[in-house]
Amino acid sequence: MTTDANFLSKAERSELLKIARDGLEEHRIARRANALLLLDKGWPYTTVSEALLIDDSTLRLWRKAFAKGGVDNLIVFDLKGGFCALTAEQVEELREWATETLPRTTAEVGAFVKEQFGVDYGRSGLIKLLARIDFVWRKPESVPAKSDAKAQAAFIDQHEKLRNSLGPDETIVYADAVHPTHQVQYAGQWQPRETRCAIAANSGRKRLNLHGAIDLETGMTRIVEAVMVDATSTIALFEALERAYPAMRRIHVFLDNARYHKAVMVREWLARTGCRIVLHFVPPYCPHLNPIERLWGVMHRHVTRNTRYETIGEFAGAILTFLRVEVPNRFGEFAQTITDNFRIIDPENFRIVA
C-alpha cells in the first residue's frame, strides 16, 4: 500500500484543517484539504480514494499540486486537462492587468491568462483565481457626480438636530413624486433548470403620477394621484397633510429641489396666515437622503416585480392600495428598510469608471 505520511508542516496542517472545517468554504476545496490531511495521517491512497469516492489519479494530482504550490494551488486546481498553476510573478501581472481593465467576465480573464501565460483555466478555476487576488464580481454603484459631501454632512446634522428638538405638537414627513409605468419589473427567481419561464409584457406605456409623503414614526402615508406632478399636486399634498395632522402646530416636510416644489404658487400658499407646513430641502443630487425613495423601492418589490396587471386600473389599484393601506398597516415589516439612517456618498471615495 502506498502511503505519504507526515508530509505537512504544522502551519500547513493548521491551514488545511481550517479549510476542511469551514462550513462556508466550497465543498470541492474542503474535500481536497480533507484528502491531504488523511494522507498526512498515513492513510494509503487507495483507502482515501475509497473513503472520499474519488479516483486514485485525481488524488495524486491534488498531492502534486499541493507539493508544487501549497494551498493556493490546491484552491485553483480547476483546470481543463490537468494541473498547471501560475507563478507568483504571473499572479501579480494578472492582478495589475485586472485592476487596470476591470474585466466584466471570466471569459475575458481566461483569454488574458491563456494568451499571456499559456494556461487554460476552466470557469470555476478562474473564479477561484480571481478570489485569490482579492477580486469580487459586483455591479458598480450609482454615485451622483455632482453631490457635495460637505452639504450632505451639514444636512444630516441639521436633520438630527431638528428630530431631537421636536415639540409634542410637531412632526416630520418626507415627500416626493413617483411615476410607476404600467409594465412588469422583471426580477430573477429560482426556477427548474429545464423550464423556461416568461411573463407576458403589457403593450401600453401608461403611467401613474403620484405625489406622496410618509411619516417614519407611524408609517402613515398620504398619496395624491395627479394628472401631472406640478405645483397644483404639491399644494394638494400639503393640504392632505394638514388634514391628517389637525393637532400639529408644525409639519416639517423634507423634499427635493424639483422646480414645482419652489413654484410661485406654492410659495404663495405657504405664506398664507395659519399655514402649518415648513419645508426643508434635501441637498441637490442626493436622493439617498430622502427616505421616501426607499418606500418606492419597497413598493416595486412587493407590487410590480414579476407581476402583471391586465389593465392600468388594476395596476393603479394595486399600487395605491399598497401605499395607502398596506404600508401603514404593516409598517413594522418595512420599518427596517424605510429609514432615515443616512450616509454620506462622496464621489471621492469611489473609483469612477465611466
pLDDT of residue 159: 97
- Taking only Cα atoms into account, the Rg of the chain, rounded to an integer number of angstroms, comes to 30
pTM value is: 0.70
On the 0-12 / 13-18 / 19+ scale of CB atoms within 10 A, 138 is: exposed
Residue type at 349 in one-letter notation: N
pLDDT 10s digits, 163-174: 999 999 999 999
Rounded CA gap, 94 and 117, in Å? 10
pLDDT of residue 352: 72
Rounded CA gap, 55 and 44, in Å? 13
Give the chain's residues under pLDDT 50: 80-83
CATH architecture of 149-185+202-349: 2-Layer Sandwich (3.30)
pLDDT of residue 118: 85
How far, in Å, are 93, 270, 324 from residue 298 at the CA level? 44, 31, 13
180, 183, 184, 185: CA torsion to nearest 10 = -40
Number of helices and strands in the chain (H, E): 14, 5
pLDDT of residue 354: 65
Closest-CA residue to 210 (of 227, 197, 189) = 227
pLDDT of residue 47: 92
pLDDT of residue 102: 92
Contacts for 40 with CB less than 8 Å, ≥ 6 apart? 4, 5, 6, 7, 8, 13
